[in-house]
Amino acid sequence: MATAGLNIYHLARLQAVSPDWPGGFWWHWLFFTVVIIGFVLTMVMGVIYIERRGMGRMQSRLGPNRTGPFGLLQPVADAVKVLLKENIVPAAADKLVHWLAPVIAFAPALMLFAVIPFENGALLADLNIGILYVIAISSVSTVGIFMAGWGSSNKYSLLGAMRNVAAIVSYEIPMVLAIVGVVLIAGSLSLNDIVVAQNVPFILLQPLGFLLFFAAGCAEINRSPFDLMEADSELVAGFHTEYSGMKFAMFYLVEYAEAVAISAIIATLFLGGWKGPILPPWLWFVVKIILVFFAMVWTRTTLPRIRIDQLMAFAWKFLFPMSLLNMFITALQVLAGWPTELVWVMIIVNIAVMAILVLVWSRFFFRLGGGRVEI
């Protein structure tokens, strides 16, 4: 466990929150573990509420409004109900795998938050390879999902799990490459340093990178339009078709915890993390997470789902070359010397570059559909 050693080394080296933080390393560790678990659970409840209400309003309905004031307790009621439901393990299932899958899927979603700063320096572990850690950990939950698909011995589950594995394997690459631009500009892999470096939110300096990362992130956590693994009009309920009770609750939690995690990463990398005027930094961070999540809800409400082969083609024929180009252009810009005083010019230039690249690429090189099966 090389990474573990690295973790502890850095934890021991870095002073968290403020220099007069009471207690030592272990206090810090305990405090943030509790904070992260609490934060994730609350946020998940919050985003479930936001999704259901927002989606309801967008569909000209109301959404849950009876359970508690404004329906705020709806996720709590769901949790109470789901946790107390009967737990069914299908007779044909691979029992051990079926049991382990939700846990393995759930752990990485929590682990992701270890490196995300809530305030300047307020994070569990300020790894100097924070982004790599994020990328590595975020794909671990695939294992859990594949185990769920395999262990259920259900054809729909298996198809869903296979789709998920294929999607994750392809989308890791554009995701990493899209971040490289940010890293080049910020000059650090640590998420805290990246936030500190953002005098202007990187979404303006890296518009193409943001789009690519958003698309790839949506695909990675299976939000619409890439929600192929639980495409309920095709695969019933995807990989968790055979899950009920508490284990299903875990998967439900994973789904939204990952969404929160990706929103948090996008907020950190592109929207300036905890930075912002007037409000306390952690509140800014939450607001930004919710903004990004709302964008996800918005696309989910509007867009149809793409097909599995188109999903792969989109990754390899559009996102991958685009992210390479983005990396190349950013590298040139950085190499040529980043004119810090001419930030606004750079913003306009980058947005123009994005528009031209997207147009040209989709005009001449790659376009989805046309009645053909990609591959």
Partner 1 sequence: MAVRTEPFVLNMGPVHPSTHGVFRMRVTLDGEVVVDIEPVFGYLHRGIEKLAEQRTYTGVIPLTDRLDYISSMSNNLAYCLAAEKLAGIKVPERAEYIRVIMSELQRVAALLIAVGAFLNDCGAYFTPFLYMFRERERIVDLFEMASGQRLTYNYMRVGGVSQDLPEEFMPALRKFMDMMPRFMDEYDQLLMQNEILLARAKGVGILSKEQAINCSISGPVLRASGVKWDIRQADPYSIYDRFDFDIPTQTTGDCYDRYRQRVEETRQSLRIIRQAMEQLPSGPVRAEVPHLVRPPVGEAYAHIEAPKGELGFYLVSDNSIAPYRCHIRPPSLINLTALRDMVRGWKIADLIIIFGSIDITVGEIDR
Partner 2 sequence: MEIEPAKKYIYSDIELDREEGQVIEDLKAQSQQPIPDPDQWLDEELEQNILLTSVDALINWGRRSSLWTAICFPACCAFEMIAANGPRFDLARFGMEILRASPRQADLMITAGTLTWKMAPNVRRIYNQMAEPKWVIAMGACAISGGIFASAEYAVVPGYNRIIPVDVYVPGCPPRPEALIYGIQMLQKKIARRKNIDVRKILER
Partner 3 sequence: MKFERYGIGIAKGLTVTIKHLFRHPTVSQYPEQRLNISRRFRGNELIWNQEKCTGCGTCAKTCPQGAIEIITSTDMAENKYVVEKYEADTGYCIQCGLCIESCPYEALYFSHNFECAKYRRGELVQGKEEMLETPERKVSGYFYPDKAEKLPKQTLLIEKVTEKR
Sign of dihedral through CA atoms 39, 42, 46, 47?
Answer: positive
98 binds partner 2 (CB under 8 A): no
Q: How far is the CB of 226 from partner 3 (least distance, A)?
A: 14
- Residue list 51-70, contact with partner 2 (CB under 8 A): 52, 56, 59-67
Q: Which helix (H) or strand (E) holds 130?
A: helix 130-138
The nearer residue to partner 3, 33 or 299, going by C-beta atoms, is: 299
Which residue from 219, 239, 231 is spatially nearest to 166, judged by alpha carbons? Answer: 219
The nearer residue to partner 1, 145 or 215, going by C-beta atoms, is: 215
Select the residue interacting with partner 1 from 284, 300, 319, 350 (CB under 8 A): 300
139 binds partner 2 (CB under 8 A): no
Tell me the number of residues near partner 1 by CB under 8 A.
35
Q: CA 81, CA 249: separation in Å to the nearest integer? A: 10
237 binds partner 2 (CB under 8 A): yes
3 binds partner 3 (CB under 8 A): no
Q: How far is the CB of 285 from partner 3 (least distance, A)?
A: 24
364 binds partner 3 (CB under 8 A): no
Stretch that binds partner 2, among 72-80, 110-118, 337-345, 354-362 (CB under 8 A): 72-80
The nearer residue to partner 2, 86 or 341, going by C-beta atoms, is: 86
- Residue list 319-338, contact with partner 1 (CB under 8 A): none
CB 87 within 8 A of CB 243: no
Distant-in-sequence, close-in-space partners of 287: CB < 8 Å, separation ≥ 6: 276, 279
276 binds partner 2 (CB under 8 A): no
**Binding-site partner at residue 71 among partner 1, partner 2, partner 3, none, CB < 5 to 8 Å by type:** partner 2
**Binding-site partner at residue 193 among partner 2, partner 1, partner 3, none, CB < 5 to 8 Å by type:** none
Q: CA 139, CA 311: separation in Å to the nearest integer? A: 17
> How many contiguous H segments (helices) and E segments (strands) does the chain have?
15, 0
Q: CA 29, CA 190: separation in Å to the nearest integer? A: 18
The nearer residue to partner 1, 108 or 160, going by C-beta atoms, is: 160
59 binds partner 1 (CB under 8 A): yes
Q: CA 308, CA 196: separation in Å to the nearest integer? A: 39
Strand partners, 119: 122
**Binding-site partner at residue 288 among partner 2, partner 1, partner 3, none, CB < 5 to 8 Å by type:** none
Which residue from 137, 105, 165 is spatially nearest to 311, judged by alpha carbons? Answer: 165
Q: Which amino acid is at 156?
A: Y
Select the residue interacting with partner 1 from 303, 334, 352, 359 (CB under 8 A): 303
Could you give the angle at the alpha carbon of 31 between the alpha carbons of 8 and 78, nearest 5°? 120
Q: CA 300, CA 256: separation in Å to the nearest integer? A: 13
Strand partners, 122: 119
242 binds partner 2 (CB under 8 A): yes
Q: CA 77, CA 68: separation in Å to the nearest integer? A: 9
Binding site for partner 2 (CB under 8 A): 52, 56, 59-67, 71, 73-74, 76-82, 84-88, 232, 236-237, 240-245, 248, 373, 375
Binding site for partner 1 (CB under 8 A): 55, 58-61, 155-156, 159, 224-225, 227-228, 231-234, 236, 300-310, 367-373
